[in-house]
A and B are shown apart, each in its own frame.
Chain A
Amino acid sequence: MALLEVRNLHVEFPLGRKTLQAIHGLSFALDKGERLGIVGESGAGKSVAAFSILKLIAKPGRIAAGEVIFDGRDLAKISDEEMRQIRGNRISMIFQDPMMTLNPVLTVGTQMVECLKAHRDISDAEAKRLAIAKLREVKIPSAEERFENYPHQLSGGMRQRVVIAIALLTDPAVIIADEPTTALDVTIQAEIMGLMLDLCRDHAVALMLITHDLAVVSQVTQKICVLYAGRLAEQGPTRSIITQPKHPYTQGLIKALPQQNEPGARLFQIPGTMPTLDDVPAGCAFHPRCAFADELCRREVPEPRPIGDHRVACHHAEKVASA
């Protein structure tokens, strides 16, 4: 059985009379120690999916339907206190912008020790020892000193290391990383990504990596879910998604990668933009931007169906794959 399984998840935001559908029937599974990439443009619902697993969706968002099975329990149905005991303990999160993730008025040490004490019956001294050991593990120099520092005394890359140390502190089963390197310098991005990959491997932690960067995902993950406008577009093993995409949106994303283009040539881009949630077109949400679209696409929403080892939500997947 999978460690974490999301089944037919629906997330909605009631806003006045209208209700916006942020996630529409998303399903995926994550095994122990497995690494999954969630890919899509801004607004595809990647972060909402991540936050809804921990039931931390911004108000007034709510899980309208579906199940989030973790360790045999449906997280959508357990009590607040049971959920709290899972957050930061069994499932940790890493946020996008390390400059904003740490509380500016509390020391690094305070913010690490409190996380341990929230989940374990542990003395201050023991918690401090564990915290400093973790700081060393994420390769922070002079860890004892950093432990006493305030966040503003650390650089962005250093802060993200602290956040990673906090996420690993309780030996979680799953880490959800929401664009963990987007806010960092390019040189530091590779460092941090490599560090995360190593740590997840060493500790057999499952990683759910949310990003818009296909290049990163292809290097780090074993499985990919591509989201478009709150729905699954395509999912499958990383290698085969990258080499044999069967959804026109996935194809477009891969074609848009700089390394897929001639040096000096104009980069490929998918025409148009992702629809906003209050203006999703009828039928397949991607049809206005799709070269394969026909009458069927404008009328009917394609359900994800298995094609080879992928699941693809496209009426014309066979035609697309051979194109």
Chain B
Amino acid sequence: MEYLQFAVKRLVQATIVMFVISLIGFSIQDKLGDPLRELVGQSVSEEVRDELREQMGLNDSFPVQYARFITKAVRLDLGNSYFFKKPALEVIADKFQATMELVIGATLIIVVFSVPVGVFCAINPKSWISRVIMTLSIVGISVPVFLTAIFLIYIFSVELGWMPSFGRGDTISLGGWSTGFLTWDGLHHLVLPSLSLASIMLPLFIRLIRAEMMEVLETDYIRFAWAKGLVRRRVWFLHALKNTLLPVITVGGVQIGTMIAYTILTETVFQWPGMGFVFLEAINRVDTPLIIAYIIVVGLIFVVTNTVVDLIYSLVNPTVRLVGQKP
């Protein structure tokens, strides 16, 4: 029962945040230049332009325009892309799959490597391997994603010729979702982009897990676990790791959202046909509906991941959920 209350409360909060995002997204609309210039050619006269403006409702007051936008938005209509001449949401949905696969690839790399490496560094803080990892992680965090991407291309594609340098490779359509995970070529193409997308988050997570775990290992309950004569494996991977992962889950959710933003850089360098790539093109073309649709979709992903993370967190951490319940 408490959990349901908590879940409802989080969902209401999420809705409010989405509302604010839509307001911000919409209010930049008329600050991005004249959409008419992109929509029609040079040859169209001023009268026709005015008429078109009136037709498109661009002359209405801001609240009226915003109200119209919201009414349509809840029906999943974010307007038509000026350039593609089809619903902006449809354009984004097409590219969403490619971006998500990139994010999933990077997340897999982060999850698979950050936990064991972070735990190792926390347990053996003085070993030379930990020191090397810590130094490398600083480098990883400091170098911008696009630079890492270019390095990776230079080494693995240009010099060694092991990896493709652009595109998604072969994909298979799986109930409307075209995936590169199921073909050898698709996976092959996914490696470098995922690596470069993970290049900032992976070291960040290793450092986060290491720092949290070292702190947890100093606590009384870990000393008590040792005093009970438990085997090392159980103290480290149950008693310490579970407490370590609580804050990591929270940060992790936010970071996965952030990673979607980083895809813009990765997708550009690797010519990855995803949302970020389309977004950059849309900015160049002043394709306002597409820009707004992108902002709202990315905002939605942020809000959804954060909400899901909170809900998971309260499942893992008994003290969060049961606040207010009598002991």
On A, residues with C-beta under 8 Å from B are: 54, 56, 58, 84-89, 92-93, 95-97, 100-106, 114-115, 118-119, 150, 152-155, 163, 166
Contact = CB atoms under 8 A, between A and B. Distances in A.
B225 A103 contact: yes
Interface in B227-250: 227-231, 234, 238-239, 242-243, 246
B327 A166 contact: no
A56 B223 contact: yes
B228 A87 contact: yes
A29 B307 CA distance: 59
Interface of B: 218-221, 223-231, 234, 238-239, 242-243, 246, 316-319, 322, 327
Contacts, number: 81
Given A106-B239, A152-B319, A100 B221 contact: yes
A14 to B, nearest CB: 13
B231 A84 contact: yes
27 contacts: A54-B227, A56-B227, A84-B230, A84-B231, A86-B229, A87-B227, A100-B219, A100-B220, A103-B225, A103-B239, A103-B242, A103-B243, A104-B319, A105-B316, A105-B318, A106-B238, A114-B228, A115-B228, A118-B228, A118-B230, A150-B318, A150-B322, A152-B322, A153-B322, A153-B327, A154-B327, A155-B327
Nearest to B221: A103
A225 to B, nearest CB: 21
A93 B243 contact: no
Given A87-B229, A104-B319, A106-B239, A114 B234 contact: yes
Q: Main secondary structure on chain B at its contact with chain A? A: helix
Contact of A102 (B221, B242, B322): B221
B327 A101 contact: no
Contacts of B230: 84, 88, 114-115, 118
A148 to B, nearest CB: 11
B221 A92 contact: no
Given A105-B316, A106-B239, A153-B322, A85 B229 contact: yes
Contact of B327 (A88, A104, A152): A152
A95 B223 CA distance: 9
A115 B239 contact: no
A316 to B, nearest CB: 40
Given A95-B223, A103-B225, 18 more contacts: A54-B227, A56-B223, A56-B227, A87-B228, A88-B228, A89-B229, A95-B224, A96-B220, A97-B220, A100-B220, A100-B221, A101-B220, A101-B224, A103-B224, A104-B319, A114-B230, A115-B228, A115-B229
A93 B229 contact: no
B243 A104 contact: yes
B239 A84 contact: no
Q: Please list the 4 inter-chain residue pairs (A to B) with the smallest Cβ-Cβ separation, ordered nearest first.
A: A88-B229, A88-B228, A87-B229, A100-B220
Nearest to A85: B229
Q: Which of B224, B317, B322, B327 counts the most chain A CB atoms within 10 A?
A: B224
A87 B234 CA distance: 15
Contacts of B225: 103
